Chains A and B, each alone.
Chain A
Amino acid sequence: MHRNHVLIAMDAHTIAQGARAVRDALKRALDMTSLTDEVKVIETGSLGIYNRGVVLVIFPDNVYYVGVKVEDVAEIVSEHLIKGRVVERLHYTDVPVEKAAEMGAAPRFGKQQRVVLKNAGVIDPESLEEYIARDGYEALGKALTTMKPEDVIDIVKKSGIQGRGGAFFPTGLKWSFAAAEEAKQKYIICNADEGEPGTFKDRLILEGDPHSVIEGMALAGYAVGADMGYIYIRGEYRMSIERLNRAIQHATENGLLGENLFDSGFSFNLEVREGAGAYICGEETALIESIEGKRGEPRDKPPFPPSVGLWGMPTIVNNVETLANVPQIILKGADWYRSMGTEKSPGTKVFTMVGNINNPGLIEVPMGTTLREIIYDIGQGIPEGKGFMLAQMGGTTGGILTEKHLDLPMSVEALREIGSGLGSGALLVVDDSQDVVELVENFVEFFNHESCGKCTLCREGNGRLLELLQRINAGKGRMADLNLMEDLAVTMMKGAFCGLGQAAPVPILGCLKYFRDDFVRKIGAAEMAAAA
């Protein structure tokens, strides 16, 4: 029995700020003071505090320390762990009071509700036992021993969950397409090729709770009749890859993956496939091409992957967050899931808040939370007293939201109504000190780089848009350029081969619509200078 537990957040953000060195120093210090039997160090996923350096919590005292450096470790050990005195200069008190009672919960502001993230920052992601202790693999056991595959699909359909990769296609419906196919082999693919700028929800789910995704995949496999799954993940996500491989190994050793699970006759195996750096591989058919060892260029659709997918076989491609929801839907039922969120978009949504915001990071809120609540309550507003200019929801392909959208509920249907979407759930907040025309050039630079080159509209269109924007920003723009950009953007939306080329013009058109004056002013000044 340990008298204290020290949870240290080991996620990509804290590692970028030196968490590994602090962890090592802590272990050394405990060793030197012979406290290793009394104090246990637990590495966990993100604790929900992102830009304040290395974060740790000491339980049962529930004391959060932030900005911890290697040289602070000795003081924390001697003062707090030996003498029981809080080290005030590192103490983080912005934790809501009611949280103090809840062992292991990450601090959160405003109305957050944790379903997908219920284990992240609470359990040791490398421990199968801790996942099981919090209902882990119960849903799989329940499904395999008491439910038919069609019952599983039925619950998922009734829950109304929609794909969290950005397209929000009904998950249950997708599964039913693959289930209806007659084939001797079917596949489940988890799309963990998270590359949309500003998005890191999948990474933190995988780093904080890898078993929830594995269990979701096994359930999907049972529902559609697939006995093999692949997790396609960015090669850059080293820690997620390591944790996934370890989790797969633990699950296999304990009979939760492999042959004849729960004596049901159902078998399911999993393999991790690493990407090699290509934004386009987040598109599901490009992803399939990449697993097949080819250039990740999107395929013609139809046929869609549930009919003809990996190696020509019926394949379900689901996002990490979607799959992480599935075990709890099976366990708690469709009505429970529908009790959260809005009627048309049930459940919670994980967002990543980035850009000019005081409290950046990962949050999970019920669908339908307003933009104002997200930015000002949970995100704690904009730094340095600056004003709000715009928010971009859904990554760099996302739509532009302005001041007049602050009270809009963030749900699939409300955003669809204004011609926008939730996309990947990345929310980029931009303050009013930024130059919007230069920001648009930055967006287009990205698309120009990431276009796979297969279709002319995306390959050439983004190149020409970039030229026009560079010209305007260099003070050589002409008023006619604005119409030219709009024409080109609309043509790309209508004619590009895949989602990348169709979505690339969205933020450009959004900025041209809401911030046209900024473009006009810049071009006007240039024209005047030229005439003088």
Chain B
Amino acid sequence: MQDLTRVDEIVQHYSDVKTPLIYILKDVQKEYGFLSDVVLTHIAKKVDIPLSEIYGVATFYSLFTIKPKGKYVVRCCNNAPCYVKKSKEVLDAIKSYLGVEVTETTECGTFTLEFTSCLGLCAVAPVMMVNDEVYGNLTPEKAVAILKDYKMKGLSNA
């Protein structure tokens, strides 16, 4: 049985905030890595909102996930300003280096590849994010080199 006491604490923490569901989901995801059925069901009981509605919210916003993700989430931008600066070549290089398609996680669980919405860093396009770090002026070679560093870091921390 999963320990859900942190969920209770988080819900309690926001008891003074009006309509805090999004904040609760954000903090719970941070704590548990993703929003599992068990966790969502528990939140529904605690805040007295139907599970269907909470599931609707959890699957609407791109920063929420109902599936576990890799240790490093690589988010590539392919919006028009990055696109005209050849972001597709960067994306293709990353796909072939990681051996996954967008939305997939590598077998070892180290990387998940995703798209990001525009990060507003278009003056240094093309850009990508790895967890909370942003990288600009990418080329296919530069992007792969950055991911190689993360891979090494992932191995040494393992």
Contact = CB atoms under 8 A, between A and B. Distances in A.
A235 B26 contact: yes
Contact of A17 (B18, B60, B63, B137): B137
Contacts of A222: none
Contact of B124 (A17, A278, A293): A17
Nearest to A297: B60
A442 B63 contact: no
A443 B62 CA distance: 19
Nearest to B59: A295
A197 B120 CA distance: 7
Interface stretch (A74-82, A164-172, A198-206): A198-206
Interface string B1-40: 0000000000000000011111101100000000000000
Contacts of A175: none
B123 interface: yes
B122 A354 contact: yes
Interface string B54-90: 0011001111100000000000001111011100000
B115 A236 contact: no
Interface string A130-141: 000000000000
Interface string A346-381: 000000111110001110000000000000000000
B8 to A, nearest CB: 18
Given A276-B22, A292-B19, A396 B123 contact: no
Interface in A209-266: 235-238
B115 A449 contact: yes
B48 to A, nearest CB: 12
Given A50-B124, A235-B63, A17 B136 contact: yes
A13 B123 contact: yes
A527 interface: no
B147 interface: no
A296 B59 CA distance: 11
Contact of A295 (B57, B63, B78): B57
Contacts of A426: 81, 122
Interface in B110-138: 115-125, 127, 132, 134-137
Interface in A279-302: 279, 290-296
A199 B26 contact: no
**What secondary structure prevails in chain B residues at the interface with A?**
loop
A309 to B, nearest CB: 14
B79 A311 contact: no
Contacts of B83: 439, 442
A291 B79 contact: no
A12 B121 contact: yes
A144 interface: no
B124 A51 contact: yes
A103 B25 CA distance: 46
A197 B79 contact: yes
Given A238-B132, A276-B61, A311-B18, A198 B25 contact: no
Given A235-B63, A274-B26, A354 B115 contact: no
Contact of B118 (A196, A275, A445): A196
Contact of A15 (B56, B57, B80, B134): B134
Nearest to A446: B79
B25 to A, nearest CB: 7
Nearest to A449: B115
A290 B122 CA distance: 26
B61 A198 contact: no
B111 to A, nearest CB: 19
Contacts of B64: 276-277
Given A235-B26, A355-B84, A279 B121 contact: no
A291 B19 contact: yes
Contacts of B57: 293-295
B117 A354 contact: no
A16 B122 contact: no
A295 B60 contact: yes
Contacts of B136: 13, 16-17, 51
5 contacts: A16-B135, A197-B79, A275-B61, A276-B61, A355-B125
3 smallest A-B Cβ distances: which pairs?
A200-B120, A277-B62, A50-B123
Given A16-B124, A17-B137, A445-B78, 18 more contacts: A13-B124, A17-B124, A51-B136, A197-B79, A197-B118, A198-B80, A200-B121, A200-B123, A236-B117, A237-B120, A276-B61, A278-B60, A278-B61, A279-B117, A293-B19, A294-B21, A362-B123, A431-B84
Interface of B: 18-23, 25-26, 53, 56-57, 60-64, 78-81, 83-85, 115-125, 127, 132, 134-137
